[in-house]
Amino acid sequence: SVSIEIAWNKDTMETLYIVHEPEITDFEKEEIKLISKNMEQIVRSSKNLPVDFSTKDIEAIIDSYMKSKRTKIPKNSIDKYKYFIQRDYEGFGPIDPIIRDPYVEDISCNGIGIPIFIEHKRHGALRTNILFPTKLFLDSYVIRLAQLCGKEISMNDPIMDGTFPQGHRI
């Protein structure tokens, strides 16, 4: 499961906002990528699953994937797969745990490889342990956020104001 820790770092003399997500192996990462990459195909080929799936469908999608691969996935891995697939498809990806924290008022990303900063109601400005490792990942993520707001963003028009269905502003 996911947890948040606010901790003092003696070396840097700062308070940090640390997101603890389930640890996954390289193999599990690849499996999650494979399931995610083939998500629409899995949904379409699975009986009784709508193309626009919801949380309750994630386990059925993973079951369908296991049957198609004729492989057994350990229960603890299934829980991890469900978490990351839900986080990335129904939530806000890597920043989803931060967005779900009612004490976070603002989230800032200042570039590739730079930790995300937040404004916390009780602790003020905090550096997190979340970052976007590559330009491609960050660019894809920004485009996805724009799409979730029903907006478009491009190199020619790189500034956007929008609101998510949940009421969050970007």
Angstrom distance (rounded) from CA 48 to CA 155: 41
Percent of the chain at pLDDT exceeding 70: 88
Average pLDDT over the chain, rounded to an integer: 85
Tokens for 108, please give them: 């800032």
- What is the 3-state composition of the chain as percent helix, strand, coil, each rounded to the nearest 5? 40, 20, 40
At 135, is the pLDDT very low, low, confident or very high (cuts 50, 70, 90)? Answer: very high
Decide which of 126 and 82 is more confident.
126
Residue 72: CB atoms within 10 A of its CB come to 9
Q: What is the mean pLDDT of residues 24-42?
A: 82
Tokens for 16, please give them: 């940090």
Q: Is the pLDDT of residue 55 over 60?
A: no
The four Cα atoms 147, 151, 157, 158 give a dihedral, to 10 degrees, of -50
Q: Is the pLDDT of residue 50 over 60?
A: no
Tell me: the pLDDT tens digits for 62-118?
A: 777 777 776 677 878 888 988 998 898 888 999 999 999 999 999 999 999 999 999
Residues with Cβ within 8 Å of 35's Cβ and at least 6 positions away in sequence, in order, are 42, 61, 62, 65, 81, 85
Q: What CATH class is the domain 3-21+94-133? A: alpha beta
Q: pTM (2 decimals)?
A: 0.81
Q: What is the pLDDT of residue 10?
A: 96
Q: What is the pLDDT of residue 31?
A: 87
Tell me: the pLDDT tens digits for 143-167?
A: 888 888 888 888 888 888 888 877 7
Q: Where are the domains of the chain?
A: 3-21+94-133, 26-92, 134-170
